Structure formats: C-alpha cells, structure tokens
Amino acid sequence: MGVLVVQGFKKIWSRWKAWLSAETLSEKDLMREEMADRFSSYLAECRKAWKAAGMTVAEQKEAEETEISLILEKMESEEKAEETQLLSSSEMQNYVDTVCDQIRWKQTRKAVAEELTDHLLLQKEAFLAEGLSEEAAEKRTVEEMGDGIAVGMALDRTHRPKPQWQMVLVAAVLLSMGLFCRLTIDEVSFGVDMAVPVLLAAALFGAAYFLDFTLLARKAKWVILLFLAMLILLVPFVEKSGGESVFFFFDYAYALTGIALLAPLPFLSVLFFMRGRKERGYWLCWLAMAVLAALLFSFGKISMVLIFSISAYGAFVVAVGADWFSMGKQKGKRLLALTTGAGIGVGTLAMFGIPAMRFRLSFAVARMAGGEFEGGYFRYLVENIWENCRWLGRGTLPQNEMAMSVRLVLSQRQDLFSNDILLSRLGFAYGKLAVALVLAVFALFFLLSFQQIRKQRSAFGQMTALSIWLVLLMQTVFFTAYNLGFMLVAPYALPLVSYGNTVLCINALLIGLLCSVFRRGEGVRDKDLAAA
C-alpha cells in the first residue's frame, strides 16, 4: 500500500514539474499558429473552388501540391527578405549596442534597439537610393545619427520609470483621512495597535510600488500555485466570526474575505498563461473565474464575489479587445457577448434557485424597502443620521424614537456596523462637507488613475491596471452606497480610510501595484513578456 502511495505521489509530482517547465506561447509561436490557420483556410477555399469547377480527384490533388509548393516558395522568400533586414554592418550594430548600453532601464533596451535598427535601415536605404555604395551608405548613416554615447544618454533620460508623485500624494491623503477618523470619531489614542498596521501598509505600498508588476506574467504559474497554496494552508485555521471567515495570527484577527481583493492577481496570471490558446484558452479562463468566484462565495460576503467578478470581467474585456486568445477580434467579441449573457442568466437563476442566496437577496431587499420594524432598521437608522446632519459642524440627535439608537451607534468603538457607516458618522461629527471632501479625493484618485490606464501600451499592463482599479472602485461604490442608505450589497471597506488591519494592508498593496504599472508600463511589450 505504501509503495502505491509513493508511486502515486511521484506521478503527480512529475506531472507538476512538466507543467511548470512548459513554456507559454511566444510571439513566434503565435505567428506560426496564425500562419498555419490562414494556410489551412486558404487550402480549404481552394478545394471548394476546384470541386465547383468540376475537377477530378487526381486533378485536385495535383493542383493542391502545386499550390503548396508555391506557398512554401513565397514563405521562404519572405524569410530571406527578413534576414536581409538585419544589420549587416558591424559598425552599425556596434552603434546600436553603444546607444543601448547607456540606457539603465534594461526593460526598454530591446524595444529601443528595434526602433533604432529600423531607423538605421531606412536611413541606409535612402543613401543607397542616392547612389552611394553599401559601405559608404552605412558609414554615412552612423555619422548622421551622431555620437552613440550622447544619443544613448538622451534616450536614457526619456526611457525611465516614471515617478507617480500625484498618485502617491493622493494615497497618503486617503491614509491620513483614515487616521483622522480613527483618532477623532472613535477617539482612539495613537499607540502600537494603530501604528503597526499603518506602518505595515506603508511598507507594502512601497514594496509594491518598486516591484516589477510583470512578475504576474513572467512567473504566472508560480503566482497561481502560491495563491492556491495560501488558500489551502489557511483553511484549517479559519474560524467563523460575524458571518465572516477569519484567522488569528499573534492575537490579531485577519478576515479571509480580504483575500478576495487579491484574487484578480492570480486570475491575471491565468489570462497570461492562456495567451494565444484560442477557444480552449478562452473557456479555461472562464472556468478559472467561476472556480475562484465559488471559493470566495464559500468564505462569506457576496460583495466580495461581485468585486472579483467585475474586476476579472474587466480584464477579460481588455483581453478580447486585444485579441489575446488569437481567435479573431470579431469572433472573440461574439463569444464574450454570448458568455456574458449566459453568465448573467446563470447568476439570476442562482439568486432565485439556491435557498441561501434567495435568503440573502430577500434580506437585502427588506433592508432597502422595509420600515423601522420590517427588516429596514439599519436603513432607517442611517436615514435618521443624515436627516440630522449639518453641512458644517456636529449634527443633532433626532427628536423621535430613534434618538437612543443613533446615540448608541455614534458612541460605539470598533463595532462592525459602526465601521460600515463610517461616512455617515463622519457626516454627523463634522458635517456633510467633510464627507464630500473625502469623496472628492476618491474621485480625483480614480480619474487620475483611469487616465493612466488608457495610456498603457501593452494589453497585459492595461489588464492589470484596470483589474486593480475596478477592485478599488467597487469597494468605494459599495461602501458609499451603503452609507447613503442603498443597502442591497453589504460594504467591505473604503480603501485606506475605513478600519481593518487586513483590508488596510491589502488595499495598500494593490494601490502600490497599480502605481507600479503606471511607473513601468511604458517599457512593457506583450511580445517581450511572452519571450521571457
């Protein structure tokens, strides 16, 4: 029996090793597959035409062989033409090497070398057209470009990671607002319990800011494995608290639902790993998305499932728009429309068909539509807080039966519901203008970051940035809507502002990673990631 178990483990381990050592499709692989598809489609059309023309089987076979030989000759001539495009002069190649050696950001060297090579070849062709010899044209080309070191230093100043001081400043303001709320509204003294999570969040932000986000692509398999391993290792230590899954570490409680905020990162790795794998890759990505959503649903809040699903879907839309799966943009868009409709249909059926989900939905509707004693107590409470808020300054207690409840909620410290209505409490303590100021800072953050997302050159950079942006945006939308009385979806956090050690650290990490995309995005190309 023991021998069989050992053999089984060896077989599983050998398969894992083979999977890890397998390479993702490179740019050349994708080009070969695309060429093969076009080749097959062209031959299929030829066969139909020959058959329609009344040719015999023997004649069709002979015509097919002739056509294949012509295509192969054409491909061979194109390959030779590409080879002649390479720099034949050692002087020109040395010039390119000299320029690239001055560029300290290694990630951009390959792209700069290709652009410079194309420019040199075009300049050389222009001189050849003027009647210069090969050697004279190459020498003149290098001379026209100028000193290689000077050109390289100028390019080095242009091709550098771009500091994101605006984003860092806005993030610091949000974190300061969170500290302000904690110190004033909750009247908590600044001590170790407050300082440690804030310092850890700042450290995680800094680490992610300087991290190369392309690790999600270059180490895609390891990212997926580490995330799954983390889930498997944490499950035995999980306890239920207030309907949520939490685990304890050195007397500090960490919500497992916070891991949902990180779930889009391994999904991005799955997307990259399935690049160029056509319909198979497309459907496997949908399967991975469904499995992750089901796992997150088992951990607690349905809002976490919604945040992950919206974020992953955003990355999917970018992938299809960039023909990530190499199945044609039009076909990809049709498939996406069909699967989106099917997904909405399945989700709707699940809402009404699964008892647990039907109960959650009915409770959410009651919370929105019910009166004080009809399931809408929390909404009624929040309405009373806002009705008695001033535009500037502290509000007054309501002159009705809710006065005692409002006073109790406003005086509670570290209470779960009190944290969920942090914006309402802030409005009561300092006025509606204070809430408007917080939301204005968030609006600035999202507008600045969205402008940067649109500027991303690589599809993977755009997918990563949009996915993280949607995670942060949906948290803010759900939290704000809940505080304004729209309580269909339970809130989780207001990034960097609301309380919670786990969510503070995770959101700081995500914002740092978002800034990393903006810093390095200019030097990232999808084909270089595939080659790596």
CB atoms within 10 A of CB 428: 25
The arithmetic mean of pLDDT across residues 305-322, rounded, is: 90
* pLDDT tens digit sequence for 50-85: 777 777 777 777 777 777 777 776 666 655 544 444
Starting from the edge strand earliest in sequence, which strands make up the sheet with 239-241, in order? 239-241, 244-249, 252-255
Beta-bridge partners for 253: 248
pLDDT of residue 83: 47
Assess whether pLDDT exceeds 80 at residue 91. no
- Where helices occur in 322-421 by DSSP H, the ranges are 329-353, 355-369, 377-387, 403-411, 416-420
pLDDT at position 208: 93
**Separation between Cα atoms, residue 493 and residue 499, nearest integer Å:** 8
- Residue 55 CB contacts under 8 Å (≥ 6 apart), including other chains: 63
Secondary structure (3-state) at 527: helix
Give the model confidence (pLDDT) of 398-422 as tens digits: 777 777 777 777 776 555 566 788 8
Answer whether residue 324 shows pLDDT above 70.
Answer: yes
Please give the model's pTM, rounded to 2 decimal places: 0.78
**Domain boundaries defined on the chain:** 25-71, 90-158, 165-531
CB proximity list for 59: less than 8 A, separation 6 or greater: 50
The per-residue pLDDT of the chain, averaged, comes to 78
Express each pLDDT in 487-522 by its tens digit. 777 788 899 988 778 888 899 999 999 999 998 877
Six-digit token pair at 453?
């997302």
Residue 518's pLDDT is what? 92
Which of 44-58, 167-181, 354-368 comes out lowest in average pLDDT? 354-368
| Pair type for strands 239-241 and 252-255 | unpaired
CA–centroid distance for 504 within its chain: 19
Write the CB contacts of 407 (distance below 8 Å, at least 6 apart in sequence): 397
